[in-house]
Amino acid sequence: MSDVQAAPAPPSPTGIERPAGGGSALVTSQGRTSIADSVVAKIAGLAAREISGVHAMGAGATRTFGSIREILPGNTDARTASQGVKVEVGERQAAIDLDLVVEYGVAIADLAAAVRKNVIERLQRMTGLEVTEVNINVDDIWIPGSDTEDEPTPAAPSRVQ
């Protein structure tokens, strides 16, 4: 990931001024702040789930593992918050990949735009990192009223013997 310089960020809602010239509040003359990849992944996962129409996150195997993990004692929502999220974090920038399951009937392009916007806003506000890209992969569609989301649709009976 390259350190592409962007336009200066607007003032932070926290009142902490960011350096001019597209710099990051994370790297200053007084020291450096590092944010773990897992923190960025959790923020991105929670921000994506805030958007109506996102039913679940993760590809099929990830969702299956996540549903098993959910029934184990000591599970918290924080442990599954990063399910379906991959991140690449540098000193000043982050790139995010999301695997989503969307609800049937939702306009996928509109949903992707809303998820992308929310993830970027939350990450930039909470971490000070510039989000260079948010790639969204729609892995499945959830149909309301279906008993389970991971069962394949039954095949039609064969017309030939």
Domain ranges of the chain: 33-142
Report residue 119's pLDDT band, with 50, 70 and 90 as the boundaries: very high
For 57-67, how does the pLDDT look when each residue is reduced to its tens digit (9 = 90+)?
998 654 444 44
> Which DSSP state fits 140?
E
pLDDT at 27 (0 to 100): 78
* First-last CA distance in the chain: 55
The count of other CB atoms within 10 Å of the CB of residue 65 is 13
pTM of this structure:
0.69
Checking if the pLDDT of 55 tops 90, the result is yes
Give the homologous superfamily in CATH for domain 33-142: Cation efflux protein, cytoplasmic domain (3.30.70.1350)
pLDDT at 62 (0 to 100): 47
136 within 8 A of 100, measured Cβ to Cβ: yes
As a three-state string, the secondary structure of 10-71 is: CCCCCCCCCCCCCCCCCEECCEECCCCHHHHHHHHHHHHHCCCCEEEECCHHHHHHHHHHHC
For 88-108, how does the pLDDT look when each residue is reduced to its tens digit (9 = 90+)?
999 899 999 999 999 999 999
